[in-house]
Amino acid sequence: MENNFEIKIYENIDMLYKDLYSEIKSLIINLKKPILGLATGSSPLKLYKLMSDGFKKESLDYINLKTFNLDEYIGLGKYDEQSYSYFMWNNLFKNINILEKNINLIDGKCKDVNKEIKRYQKRLDRAGAFDIQILGIGTDGHIGFNEPGTSIDSNCHMVYLDMQTIKDNSRFFNNLSDVPKSAITMGVKDILKAKRICLIATGDKKIEPIKKFVFGDITNKFPASYLKRHNNVCLYLDKTAATEILKNKDFTNYIVK
Ligand code: F6R
């Protein structure tokens, strides 16, 4: 079976994040104006810790870095602890010397959702291709908040979250009913514009999504599968998330580190 994406499988999860951080670091060092697309959630947390340490301990200079975040809950703003803006400030931006004007976040507290979508899309279009887009994957196959059914041609849009996503994300809230039901997300088309896409998946909840990604068809029922239309995608997996890949004797197109 052929595949047009890289797969890196790690015995040691710290090595996974170290390798991914190396990619980011070389981009920060070597490019005049690096642009990163960023995700929130559990998957990139350790990467942001390494990036923060990079500033503190290695004097890595983020002054020219521009970032764009994938998504935000509607109704939550940067002072709400469960918002993605708060997550980014708390886990990364406050720890490094990135300029505020170079940080692009969606305003979930905006008065006019359509206006906010247009504003963000304009920024995305002006920025051009990101150097690296960091992604996690939802158990329902979402990337960003592009839920099942989303078109490959989608731009920034408002979305009603899938029940599965609401359940998955309730771990960050006191009650299931506190999880916002809607969000604004970059579209699949915006994500696919990146020069390189690094998707992180670890742990047993990601076994099925990774199996579907690697062995399944490209379908709107599983939006992450659209990434197979891109020619520079790398899956960063731990051994657990990669369980089904490692089981399949006919499939050897990956490296174990
Ligand atoms: C977050 C995002 C989502 C997450 C996905 C996986 O900004 O866009 O697509 O990447 O839900 O979440 P975790 O990493 O928490 O399993």
Tens digits of per-residue pLDDT, 136-152? 999 999 999 999 999 99
Do the beta carbons of residue 199 and residue 235 sit within 8 Å? yes
Q: Is the CB of 51 under 6 A from ligand 1?
A: no
pLDDT-based confidence at 3, cuts 50/70/90?
confident
Which residue's CA is the closest to the ligand 1 atom numbered 2? 144
Q: Is the CB of 12 under 6 A from ligand 1?
A: no
pLDDT at 148: 97
Q: Which two tokens stand for residue 46?
A: 């350790």
86 exposure class (CB count in 10 Å sphere: 0-12, 13-18, 19+): middle
pLDDT-based confidence at 1, cuts 50/70/90?
low
User: How is 148-175 classified by DSSP, letter by letter?
Assistant: TT--TT--SEEEEPPHHHHHHHGGGSSS
Q: Is the CB of 183 under 6 A from ligand 1?
A: no
Best residue among 13, 16, 43, 227 to mutate for probing ligand 1's pocket (most ligand atoms within 8 Å of CB) is 43
Best residue among 74, 92, 135, 170 to mutate for probing ligand 1's pocket (most ligand atoms within 8 Å of CB) is 135
For the question of whether the overall pTM of this predicted structure is more than 0.95, the answer is yes
What is each CA distance from 92 to 95, 103, 224, in whole angstroms? Answer: 5, 11, 25
Q: Is the CB of 133 under 6 A from ligand 1?
A: no
How much is the average pLDDT of 242-250? 97
d(CA 26, CA 255): 21
Best residue among 76, 87, 133, 142 to mutate for probing ligand 1's pocket (most ligand atoms within 8 Å of CB) is 142
d(CA 118, CA 157): 9
Q: Is the CB of 157 under 6 A from ligand 1?
A: no
% of the chain beyond a pLDDT of 90: 98
* Torsion over CA: 107, 119, 91, 134 (sign): positive
Long-range residue pairs from 100-105, CB within 8 A, at least 24 positions apart, any chain: 102/64, 102/65, 102/66, 102/67, 103/66, 103/67, 104/66, 104/67, 104/68, 104/69, 105/69, 105/72, 105/78
Q: What is the mean pLDDT of the chain?
A: 97
Which residue's CA is the closest to the ligand 1 atom numbered 12? 41
Neighbouring-strand partners of residue 235: 7, 199
199 C-alpha to center of ligand 1: Å? Answer: 10
Tell me the Cα Rg of the chain.
Answer: 17
Which residue's CA is the closest to the ligand 1 atom numbered 9? 144
Kindly tell me if the per-residue pLDDT of 219 is higher than 90.
Answer: yes
Kindly tell me if the per-residue pLDDT of 2 is higher than 90.
Answer: no
Do the beta carbons of residue 67 and residue 131 sit within 8 Å? no
d(CA 21, CA 241): 20
